[in-house]
Amino acid sequence: MPCSLWKTRFTWLAASLPAALAERGGPVHATPPLSSPAQPLPDGIAPDRDAGHGPVLAIRAKSLLPLTGEEPARGARLFAPLKRVDNAVLVVRHGLVEAVGRWGSTPLPPGALVRDVGPVCLAPACVNAHTHLELSHLAGRTRWEAGFTAWLQSLIPLLSPPQDAAAASAVVAAAEAACADMAAMGTRCVGNVAGSLPHGILVADAASRAAGLTVSHFCEWFGFGPPFAQGEGPWPPRCREAAEEDPFLAARCAPGGHALYSTGPDVLQTAHENCRRMGRVFSFHLAESPEETQLLTEGAGPLLDCYAGVVLPPDWRAPGLRPLAYALRLGLLCAGTLAVHGVQLDQQEVEVLAASGAALCLCPRSNRRLDVGLAPVRELMESGCLLCLGTDGLTSNRDLDVRQEAAWLRETLDVPPEALVRLLTVNGVAALNLQASGAGRLEPGAPADFCVLPEALVY
């Protein structure tokens, strides 16, 4: 559909978006999220981030992991003990942490409103480093547990733009609900893949900011040339108009790539170089499925059958390399790169990835749903690679609660909770280059954004 027609349709669509869409250059404030919708702050009692207004809150909990002074952790440092405050109180003024300490020994400001959240452990709000917000309306409509290509073939027919007002409204409502759910589950920062739908980035941006989330958009280049990958400048076609017209939105965006088998090597290299020049994080899917490895090494397999003549050009030839080696040859792996998945990595490749300086986002529940295997998590943790967690999108996962990725790894692989809490917080902040936001730690002056840890992560 021509961009002009979609823009006309989006005039109607904007009426259903939050006010943040019309005012997306300004801040959108929200109360610090609690992990469980069953434990909301009482009506009218919420830290107000607008300076000069709102009460002082004293939030009492059984325990708290503030991560004060914690830096991104790699290797053995991931498993170091975390300081835990028992019988804890978190003092919040104007949405910022004023004090953290033990109840009874930490002075409370006069008139502070006390909220006892019960026998739970609080931690800094989480980072969901990889998801697809603009596809939230497709939840439950794709094929799972039959392999990657079967899932992909079920997804592709669903990627057409909404054809009427009702369909457009459903896209908006689903993105809003997904973001609201993430905030309620204790997520603060999000790495969102943009560009699957025309103007989908506007839907995802408005919904995430209305929910009080800090969002980074990875504007995904796809294809090897026209009609997919075409045009000048850093932004792919489906994000270009929005990014060029709104510098505030563009500041939250980075050029990205889809994958080594679906995006031309020159397109990936240009996007990576633009990220380096702009000081942004470059992200792409890497080594997700056996079918990807087969296509790149042999030039054969179900992915070839799916993409030949549609995405892959007639003269395409397999590089004859495994995904990691191919990404290295293209110069994509270095500090400032966030690779996603890393399921199909052997021990030597794990070590090479760690040495490159690139970060890796693990999405274990999505990998399980698509039946592509499980990343070598223990080896990756011990290698010194910077690791974080993501849910992937609702087309390959049941929810966007990134805490459940950590809980699944704890229960399935017995990963120590200290490592998983770091992956959820300070490591995710570093992987998205959001340290300036103050997220990831509950210390004086930081945003008072917190979550309730699942039982599996409490120790």
Domains in the chain, please, with CATH?
Answer: 56-124 (2.30.40.10), 126-400 (3.20.20.140)
Instruction: Give the dihedral sign, CA 352/357/358/361.
Output: positive
Residue with tokens 């290698």: 383
Q: What angle do helix axes 200-210 and 165-184 make, rounded to 10 degrees?
A: 40
Is 40 in contact with 34 (CB distance < 8 Å)?
yes
CA distance 42 to 47: 11
Burial 118-143 (b: 16+ CB within 10 A, else e): eebbbbbbbbbbbbbbbbbbbbeebb
Token output for 108: 């409370």
CA distance 267 to 386: 26
Q: Which residues contact 111 (CB under 8 A, 6 or more apart)?
A: 55, 56
Length of the chain: 459
Is 31 in contact with 47 (CB distance < 8 Å)?
yes
CA distance 284 to 222: 11
Q: Which of 322, 270, 257 is nearest to 291 (CA)?
A: 322
Pairing verdict, β 121-124 and 450-452: antiparallel
Predicted pLDDT at 459: 84
Q: Collapsing DSSP states into helix, strand and coil, what is residue 257?
A: strand
Q: Which residues contact 44 (CB under 8 A, 6 or more apart)?
A: none
Cα 240 to the center of its chain, rounded Å = 21
Is 201 in contact with 194 (CB distance < 8 Å)?
yes
Residue with tokens 């404030």: 29
CA distance 228 to 70: 42
Token output for 115: 């909220």
Instruction: Give the dihedral sign, CA 195/198/200/202.
Output: positive
Per residue of the chain (459 residues), what is the pLDDT tens digit? Answer: 323 222 322 332 333 333 333 333 332 223 333 333 333 333 333 433 333 335 899 999 999 999 999 999 999 999 999 999 999 999 999 999 999 999 999 999 999 999 999 999 999 999 999 999 999 999 999 999 999 999 999 999 999 889 899 999 999 999 999 999 999 999 999 999 999 998 899 999 999 999 999 999 999 999 997 655 666 789 999 999 999 999 999 999 999 999 999 999 999 999 999 999 999 999 999 999 999 999 999 999 999 999 998 999 999 999 999 999 999 999 999 999 999 999 999 999 999 999 999 999 999 999 999 999 999 999 999 999 999 999 999 999 999 999 999 999 999 999 999 999 999 999 999 999 999 999 999 999 999 999 999 999 998
Bridge partner list, 57: 92, 113
Angle CA(348)–CA(354)–CA(356) in degrees, nearest 5? 105
What pTM, to 2 d.p., does this model score?
A: 0.90
CA distance 433 to 8: 35
Q: Collapsing DSSP states into helix, strand and coil, what is residue 312?
A: strand
Burial class of residue 393, CB neighbours in 10 A (0-12, 13-18, 19+): buried
CA distance 276 to 13: 34
